[in-house]
Structure 1
Amino acid sequence: MDPAERDANLVHGALRRRGDGDHLAVLVEMLVSLVSSYRYGGDRVDADVAKLEASQLSEAVRRKQPHHDEVVRILSTRSKPQLRATLRRYREDHGTDIVEDIDSRCSSQFARTLKSAVWCLTSPEKHFAEMIRESVVGLGTYEDMLTRVVVSRAEIDMRQIKEEYRARFKTTVTCDVVDDTSFGYKDILLALVGGEEE
């Protein structure tokens, strides 16, 4: 399948199996790409807007309201450079990263989805490293998730994902794929992941 057809099939499947946790990750990954196509594409950043919106995000997270309209508006309308500036200002003003605050203060499914959206918008390598790790940790392999991430990111940002994975989990994607898969499936994944220094 070409990427658009693959994405359409993934979204269709995610909407049909709402019971498993992976369906939200699939929807966030695909919808973030769609929403991004309607954003301002330039590099211009407004520091005053970044300061204001960092404060609005902080207030929503502090009040355990990650679903607040302002949060959704900021994440769905601002350019990636503007979002990066806002999240950098958030960290400067509050001493923590917004994702850390979401993790420590909000436990809803929406909060977990918001964390994924923030990562997909600003640091996709963090999101996809976590998805790979989640697919190989524990008994068995979550093959659908592992395949989806490796296939969809192989030619986009796999190098950054591998670096993030090594930094966060103190092992490599290659090691975990070798340990958790076998035969032809393993060989295909390793070819797509590419080489890594051990």
Structure 2
Amino acid sequence: MWISSSFIYIIVDDDASGKMYVGFGTDEEAVISVLGHRNANQMKKIRETYHQLYNESLIDRLHSELSGDFRLLVGLVSSYRYDKEVVDPEAAMLEAARLNEAINKKQLDHDDVFWILSTRNVFQLRATFAYYKQLYGNPLEQDIKNCGKGDLESLLNVIVCCIDCPEKHFAKVVKDSIWGLGTDEDSLTRAIVTRAEIDLSKVEVEYAAMYKSSLEDDTSGDTSGDYRRFLMTLLGK
């Protein structure tokens, strides 16, 4: 367990490693990283384990910590995504059109947007995102960015990235953690620990493609001592 501040998050990755990681999140992006691509079974375990550990409802805690547009995060943890790897192409096309309509009207807080992102399974959403690009020429993230630079736009882009290409999201988290003076150890630890037994090799490949450098070398160069050895062990070095 590692501690930062704010509110608790629990990561359950039983489908990949059978292990549970418990920690504390410091911001909305951390919560999205945890919740954005979980299936219904994992969400249920997260809620149950949180209640067992802290004797309070995770939904109630999120409601008390978050406000406004960030209520979508409550939807992510309280929703019941379909677990099956089922894709309905017709629904994907229709929902791509709904997302495009919301973007054109600059109504990113529309209930349709929240409902699509918080209830559809990962495979269905990836199909919707693919149809969106095919039909409207731009990736969904780009059109969301064109709507503005507010909290909601940032929130939605992180959610879309986590669902569509989690390895790209975590590669960016690592880079942002070590960029500039000092190291954001909480974010760096979260990114590497939570992906270590899932898709860390994919994160490394994506990192190299995005930044033309090695995740291992950059992480090693920005850390030291036992902390560096810990991360290098997780990286298999």
Fold agreement, TM-score > 0.5: yes
Identify the TM-score tier after normalising by the shorter chain: 0.7 to 0.9
Q: Is there any run of 5+ residues in structure 1 with no aligned partner, and where?
A: 15-22
Q: Which residue of 2 aligns with 1:39?
A: 81
Cα 1:193–1:62 shift into 2, 3 Å: farther
1:115-130 paired onto structure 2 within 5 Å: 115-130=157-172
Does the Cα contact within 8 Å between 1:67 and 1:111 map onto a contact in 2?
no
The reply to whether residue 109 of structure 1 matches residue 139 of structure 2 is no
Alignment-derived partner of residue 183 in structure 2: 141
Indicate which of 5, 14, 24 corresponds to 1:10: 24
Cα distance in 2 between the residues matched to 1:165 and 1:81: 23
2:90 corresponds to which letter in structure 1?
Answer: D
Larger deviation, residues 55-64 vs 27-36: 27-36
Spell out, residue by residue over 1:72-127, the C-alpha distance to the aligned partner (whole angstroms, 9 max, x if none): 10011111121111111000011111112222332111211111111222211111
User: 1: distance between equivalents of 2:193 and 2:86?
Assistant: 33
The TM-score with structure 2 as length reference comes to 0.71
Work out whether residues 61 and 106 of structure 1, in 8 Å CA contact, stay in contact via their aligned partners in 2. no
1:158 to 196, 200, 210: 200
CA distance in 1: counterparts of 2:11 and 2:32, whole angstroms? 16
Distance in 2 (CA, whole Å) between partners of 1:144 and 1:176 is 16
Higher share of residues assigned strand: 2
Aligned-pair distance for 1:169? Answer: 1.0
Say if 2:29 is the partner of 1:25: yes
Aligned partner of 2:137 in structure 1 is 95
Distance 1:74 1:48 in 2: 14
Contact 2:147–2:153 (8 Å) recurs in 1: no
Residue 195 of structure 2 aligns to which amino acid in structure 1? R
Q: Give the TM-score normalised by the residue count of structure 1.
A: 0.85
- Total equivalences in the alignment: 184
Give the gaps of 5 or more residues in structure 2: 2-9, 13-19, 42-79
Partner of 2:64: none
Identity of aligned residues (%): 38
The CA RMSD measured in Å over matched residues stands at 2.0
Moved over 6 A (4+): none
Q: How many angstroms apart in 1 are the aligned matches of 2:112 and 2:223? A: 43
